[in-house]
Amino acid sequence: MGHYKSNLRDIVFNLFEVLGRDEVLGRGPYEDLDHDTAVAVLTEVEHLAGTKLADSFASSDHEPPVFDPADHTVAVPAAFKKSFQAYMDAGFYQLELPSELGGQTTPPSLQWAVNELTLGANPAVYIYSAGPKFATVLWNNGVERDRKIARHMIERQWGATMVLTEPDAGSDVGAGRTRAIPQPDGSWHIEGVKRFITSAEHDMSENIVHLVLARPVGVEGHGGPGTKGLSLFVVPKHHFDLETGELTGERNGVYVTGVEHKMGIKVSTTCELTFGDPSIGAGAPARGWLLGEVHDGIAQMFQVIEHARMMVGTKAIATLSTGYLNALDYAKTRIQGADLIMAADKAAPRVTITHHPDVRRSLLTQKAFVEGMRALVLYTASIQDRVALAKAAGERDVAAEKLNDLLLPIVKGYGSERSWVLLGTESLQTFGGSGFLQDYPIEQYVRDAKIDTLYEGTTAIQGQDLFFRKIVRNKGLALGAISAEIMQFIGRQAGNGQLKEERELLQQGLIDAGAIVETMVESLTAAGSPEGDPRDVYKVGLNTTRLLMAFGDVVCAWLLLRGAEVALDKLNTDLTESEQRFYEGKVASARWFARTVLPKLAAERAIAEATDLAVMDLPEAAF
């Protein structure tokens, strides 16, 4: 048995029974895709995930890629290569490509449902397979030259990277110092050192295309300070014939000069990438081309980042899901201790640990969060369906775009924090000491999932993005829209009277989260007013992560209760026993989440409202 345990039933429940995705299938750009085909795709990916993708998950953690500093190459373990090739051969990466690039044109909701399965089974397979997907950025932003490169990236399955981070420029991307010097032939020479670059070297594709943020020098009006002075360059590892894509045999002057040893997701290479160092290789310059011939680097890069943030949140949640299901299986068979009712009787029969209230608390907590966050991912993806449908019709659904923007930091920031913590405190804990061993996949899950709170913008960055950009800058429109939708649900007496208490809890949770926003807006306003104290903005900064988590709790509770409403309806019909249990489980997890998570928001609100500047006034030496 492989490590990966999927929950396709819950994915299908969300897609079709709650989110009504049948509405988007069979019409517009998805005319050729019907319900049965979508389910068949999911079933096929689930099988692949549980077998060929999962096969190399543990072994490539034990024997990670090997870096050869002499020739700047990386050898990826053979078992992982097999998993990767199986995924590429199956062609599922094409689900995310537009039809003009040979893609199969599927709605984002189906894509993210599929991605959950891949990311849960072997996240690095998805990450390495993103090369063709990166090509869409060249296609969407490029001139004819870039579009030709995009085609080669897809047809020849080249790898690709996103290259932002430098030793002194992590969260603060605008501090980047890598330079781009214009050349008479229209190309650019890139000079500098980037670090922590995922997939920058491996031996699974003939070429790797780096999308690099660098600061142009000597170009009037461009290359100023901060992120706005950065431009995006296309820098291939090997030069190639633009018309055919054939490699010319000429190595570009961009080399991996180090590969990190790290806590988790070890098979995914994390590289130092050096551009244009004459002492390396043949000393050739690192030649790049300005994407689209426009200096709009950070905005172009954010097209990648938005996708990657959704990917990271989905990866985290997928890992928690398999962590929970492994823990559940273990708990059903592990016999330890007597039932609490008979605890005083030393001769009482021993029971499986699922009989213990504390284990049940833990299991239901895991189940509720997994299901809530899966609903969050797929709901967000359903909003992306709206964006995609409008685009296909030559229009824009601005409300959907802004709602998606609002939800992305929740998927990424909230999803990764909750998943990583629960994997450690609940999934691993369910195994007792065995969870600490390599005999079970949980210890690797915990290590592999920790990165999700760090890359693609740390949790602190997600919290700030949510408040400053997605709420304040958006004048609260998207927040108002989703809050109104939640209020409408509460007022609708959903669940036929059976979810009355939970609706009240949801209402109070929404009020509490709203009060946190109000408090923060008040501090921000005070900080900006002439008679106010500019230091009041610190009070905002002390609460951005709190808001991220509180808002995530509210959205997940709402989506779980929407699911419970559907499940309660189904429970009034004739069902097989397994379906009966499934729907009972849906109601139970929604109730549990509402009753055990939402009441804590009152405390979060009280903490936010009582925020003062004591922590900012504390001298550093007193920490």
Which residues are part of the catalytic machinery? Answer: 456
Q: Would you state the torsion angle of the CA atoms of residues 341, 346, 347, 349, taken in this order, to the nearest 10 degrees?
A: 40
465 binds ligand ST9 (CB under 6 A): yes
444 binds ligand ST9 (CB under 6 A): no
455 binds ligand ST9 (CB under 6 A): yes
Alpha carbon separation from 453 to 405, 441, 442, 462, 463 (Å, rounded): 18, 20, 18, 9, 12
Size of residue set near ligand ST9 by CB under 6 A: 31
Assess contact for 67 and 76: CB atoms under 8 A. Answer: no
Binding to ligand ST9 (CB under 6 A) within 247-266 occurs at none
Dist. CA 552–CA 546, nearest whole Å: 10
Partner from ligand ST9, ligand FAD, none binding residue 583, C-beta < 5-8 Å depending on class: none
Cα radius of gyration rounded to whole Å, the chain:
25
Q: Which of 173, 273, 471, 486 binds ligand ST9 (CB under 6 A)?
A: 173
Exposure class string for 27-46: b at 16+ Cβ within 10 A, else e: eebbeebeeeebbebbeebb
**Residues near ligand FAD, by CB under 6 A:** 161-165, 170-171, 196-198, 262, 270, 451, 454-458, 460
Binding to ligand ST9 (CB under 6 A) within 112-141 occurs at 127, 130, 133-134, 136-137
Partner from ligand FAD, ligand ST9, none binding residue 4, C-beta < 5-8 Å depending on class: none
Closer residue to ligand ST9, CB minimum distance, 174 or 182: 174
Q: Would you state the torsion angle of the CA atoms of residues 343, 349, 352, 355, taken in this order, to the nearest 10 degrees?
A: -40
Partner from ligand FAD, ligand ST9, none binding residue 451, C-beta < 5-8 Å depending on class: ligand FAD
Partner from ligand FAD, ligand ST9, none binding residue 307, C-beta < 5-8 Å depending on class: ligand ST9
305 binds ligand ST9 (CB under 6 A): yes
Alpha carbon separation from 20 to 6, 70, 378 (Å, rounded): 22, 55, 11
308 binds ligand ST9 (CB under 6 A): yes
Nearest distance in Å: CB 555, ligand FAD: 22
Closer residue to ligand ST9, CB minimum distance, 463 or 509: 463
**Which burial class, exposed, middle or buried, applies to 543 when counting CB atoms under 10 A from its CB (0-12, 13-18, 19+)?**
buried
300 binds ligand ST9 (CB under 6 A): no
Dist. CA 4–CA 354, nearest whole Å: 21
Dihedral sign for Cα 53, 55, 58, 61, please.
negative
**Residues 6 or more apart in contact with residue 367 via CB below 8 angstroms:** 324, 328, 585, 589, 592
Q: Which of 73, 257, 303, 498 binds ligand ST9 (CB under 6 A)?
A: 303
Q: Which of 75, 299, 393, 603 binds ligand ST9 (CB under 6 A)?
A: 299
Closer residue to ligand FAD, CB minimum distance, 86 or 454: 454
Q: Which residues bind ligand ST9 (CB under 6 A)?
A: 127, 130, 133-134, 136-137, 162, 164-165, 171, 173-174, 198, 226-227, 298-299, 302-308, 311, 455-457, 461, 465, 469
